[in-house]
Amino acid sequence: MKRRDFVSVAVAGTAAIASTPAAIQAAPPEGKAGRIRQSVCRWCFPKLSLDELCQQAVQMGLSGIDLLGPEDFETVKKYGLVCTMVQSHGLADGLCEPKLHESCLKTLQERIEATAKEGWRNVICFSGNARGIDRKTGLKNCAAALKQIVPVAEKHGVILNMELLNSRVDHADYMCDRSDWGIELVDMVGSDHFKLLYDIYHMQIMEGDLIRSIQKNHRYFGHYHTAGNPGRHEMDATQEINYPPIATAIAESGFDGFLAHEFLPTRDPMTSLREAVELCRV
C-alpha cells in the first residue's frame, strides 16, 4: 500500500487492544520518552482503527499521530495526543504547476486555520509531479505559490512543511526529490514558517549521507519521517539505514519538532512500531 492509496476507514483490530481510553496505561513521565518527540503515520496501519492506534501510541509514549485531516482531530484529542502533521492537498498535484495553485492554496488555507484552531504546529505540502516542467521553473512556481500562503501560516503560527520524496522507486516525476532543491526553495521563500519534511527513507534512496545532511542543514528541516530501506519496512537488521546515530544527530541539532514513523510492517505491527520507537529514543 502507498500513502496516496490509503483511505482512512475504521477496521476491526485485535481483541487484545483495550477498547476504552480508561484502559490505557499512563504515558511515560516527562523526559522518559527521550529528547525527540515521536509519532506515527496513520496510513501505515490500516488494520487498526484510529482509536486503537491512539491507544497504542499513548502506551508507547508517543506525542501524536501524523497525516490526519480535521475529521480525525477529535479522536486524537480524546487521548491527549496531537496531530503532528496535518494532511492537505494531493501529493502528485502540487505547487510546481501554476494551474493547480488556486485549489492547492485554498486547501492549505483551510488546513492552516484548522491546525491553528487546535494550537498545533504542522501542515504538509507538496511540490507535485513535474509533468514536463523543468526544475528551475518548478522552483519559481513553488516559490510564487508559497509566498501567497506563507503569510497566512505566519499569522496563525503554523509551519508549512514540503516533503522530500524519492522519484526513483515510489514517486516517479516528483519535483522536490533532493534536499538541495528543497533548501533553495526555503531560501527563496525566506520564512521560518516554511520548512522541509526530511524523509530519511526517501533521502537514503536519492542521496544518502544522511547524518552529514542533518548536521549541516537541520535548520531547514521542520519534521522527519522514518522507514527501513530497501522496502519501506521495519527499521531492523534486514535494511541498510542505521537509525540510532541518525536519531542522535537529530537530537543534538536542537530539533524541537516531531519524528514520525512511516514504515509498512511485515510482522506484528505494534511490535515493529515499539521497536522503531526504541531505536529512535535518545
**Distances from the Cα of 235 to the Cαs of 108, 141, 250, 255, in angstroms?**
32, 36, 17, 21
Secondary structure (DSSP) of 256-270: -SEEEE----SS-HH
Phi-psi region of 119 (alpha: psi -120 to 50; beta: other; left: phi over 0): left
How many CB atoms sit inside 10 A of residue 78's CB? 12
Residue 163 falls in the annotated catalytic set: yes
Q: Which of 102, 163, 252, 275 is catalytic?
A: 163
Cell numbers 505559490 correspond to: 145
Contacts of 84 (CB under 8 A, 6+ apart): 37, 39, 63, 64, 65, 66, 120, 121, 122, 223, 258, 260
Q: Which of 240, 262, 275, 278 is catalytic?
A: 262
Residue 262 falls in the annotated catalytic set: yes
Distance CA 97, CA 126 (A): 11
Residues with a known catalytic role: 163, 262
